Amino acid sequence: MAFKFSENLFLTQTDTTTGLLSQNAKKITKAKQRLDNKFYIVAVDSLSTLNRLTRIPCSHKNRIRRAKKTTFILPNQRSYRLVSDKKHLLFLHRIKWTYSSSANISGKAYEVTYAKEVADVAIYPFLSPGSASAIYRLSKTNRLTKVR
């Protein structure tokens, strides 16, 4: 039986924190015990992958390409982060994009034992939980608003 990336919940170190990654948002929602109506950050391996997933306003393309550890909420109200961390990219190059979230129960502190229990696949090593990415809301024009 072939291994399918799209059907698994991964626990790994992301570019910002120890996170849960999957192409199935419902798996992350169940693991985090989170409400269904919230969107997840989509981590992508390249600008071309991001362009296949959504339309990027021309006035923001360079900003997105140059940003490090920054998430952008695009006009379609979905959040995307173009990953530049080499270790995280080793994972992302295989699947191109993934939903991403911190590896904790929603609203609670990170516990490595819980995170290992809910993940289908754990990719070591885990570092500290780290800090979350900065988040900016982009408009169709050149406006930029800091969210976090």
Residue 108: domain span: 5-146
Question: How far is residue 97 from each of residues 21, 79, 118, measured CA to CA in Å?
Answer: 9, 12, 21
Each residue's pLDDT expressed in tens, for the chain with a length of 148 residues: 455 667 899 998 888 888 899 999 999 999 999 888 888 999 999 999 999 999 988 888 889 989 888 999 998 889 999 998 888 898 898 899 999 998 888 888 888 888 889 999 888 776 666 677 889 998 877 778 888 8
Which CATH number fits the domain that encloses residue 127?
A: 3.90.870.10
Structural Rg of the chain based on CA atoms: 15
State residue 57's pLDDT score: 85
State residue 146's pLDDT score: 87
Phi-psi region at 95: left, alpha or beta (left = phi > 0; alpha = psi -120 to 50): alpha
Count other C-beta atoms under 10 Å from residue 112's C-beta.
Answer: 14
State residue 3's pLDDT score: 58
Question: How far is residue 26 from each of residues 12, 85, 86, 122, measured CA to CA in Å?
Answer: 18, 26, 27, 18
Distance between CA atoms of residues 108 and 32, nearest Å: 9
Number of folded domains that form the chain: 1
Residue of 101, 129, 130, 86 whose CA lies nearest to 32: 101
> What spatial distance separates the first Cα and last Cα of the chain, rounded to whole Å?
43
State residue 147's pLDDT score: 83
Distance between CA atoms of residues 91 and 100, nearest Å: 12
pTM: 0.87
State residue 1's pLDDT score: 43
Count other C-beta atoms under 10 Å from residue 140's C-beta.
Answer: 12
Chain centroid to Cα 91, Å, comes to 12
State residue 104's pLDDT score: 86
